[in-house]
Amino acid sequence: MNPSELDALLKAVREGQVSPADARARLAGYATEDLGFATIDHAREARTGWPEVVFGAGKTPEQVAAIAERIAARGHNVLITRTTPEAHRVVSARLPRSVHHESARAITVEVTPVAPLRGGVAVVCAGTSDLAIAEEAAVTASFQGASVTRIYDVGVAGIHRLLGRTGDLREADVVIVVAGMEGALPSVVAGLIAAPVVAVPTSVGYGASFQGLAALLAMLNSCAAGLAVVNIDNGFGAGHLACTILRSAARLQEKNR
């Protein structure tokens, strides 16, 4: 049950069209759904503003498809991360509207039209090797209604590439910066703009990068203010956080009107 459906049910109870007992019965089955191998949180959108997202890694294609089908059946949009072409074949057989974003390793199913978010997100990628994580962030933000600008392959080894896009960076309301190796790019970006920066360390790099740990520690120790860091390779977390910031800003604007 999405927020608008919940509002309609509560209004019907208030106006006497639905009894409290009937409303309770309707709501009882909406909070969770037990599939045996997964318990789906159908109430997450009502609590947090966005439905449960499916993490595809470690799940069989059939499990991914079954979870996605049940989420969609309740009128929720479906986002599946860390998935495969094989999983998409199974999902698309059940949900023909599904879209496979191969570069992001993600699947989306739009069940309900998403209202555009106020504000824009820039996704900045240090190198082409970081592209999969950057695309995961970009697809996540775009699917949630954000306007996304991609600024790719602008790492600090050629800083002029980044400086040439300063105007685009300053237009964004939230900036996601994805980098591996030494992880310097987010600090540089955060020193150039006023918007919040979400830094994403990646596992890209040679031996002493320790699968992204070097980049993670560099970002956590940034001297630039206004920068927050998500986990290694967590493009989804960055994209979702960016949209959460935009939704929170929109609510604040509504309150102040």
**pLDDT value of position 30:** 67
Tell me the Ramachandran region of residue 31: left when phi exceeds 0, alpha when psi lies from -120 to 50, beta otherwise. Answer: alpha
Residue 245 reports pLDDT greater than 80: yes
Whether residue 5 is predicted with pLDDT greater than 80 in this model: the reply is: no
- Which residues, including other chains, have CB under 8 Å from residue 106's CB and lie 6 or more apart? 79, 80, 81, 82, 83, 100, 135, 136, 139, 140
pLDDT of res. 28 = 62
pLDDT value for 254:
84
Of 32, 35, 118, the closest CA to residue 74 belongs to: 32
- Per DSSP, the chain holds a count of helices (H) and strands (E) of 11, 11
pLDDT of amino acid 80: 98
pTM comes to 0.87
Tell which residue, 69, 61, 177, has the closest CA to residue 123: 177
Burial 48-65 (b: 16+ CB within 10 A, else e): eebbbbbebeebebebbb
* Domains present along the chain, CATH in parentheses: 31-109 (no CATH), 120-249 (3.40.50.1970)
The DSSP result for 131-156, as a single string, is: HHHHHHHHHHHHHTT-EEEEEES--G
Q: What is the pLDDT of residue 84?
A: 96
Amino acid symbol at 149: T
Instruction: Please write the tens of the pLDDT for every residue from 197-227.
Output: 999 999 999 999 999 999 999 999 999 999 9
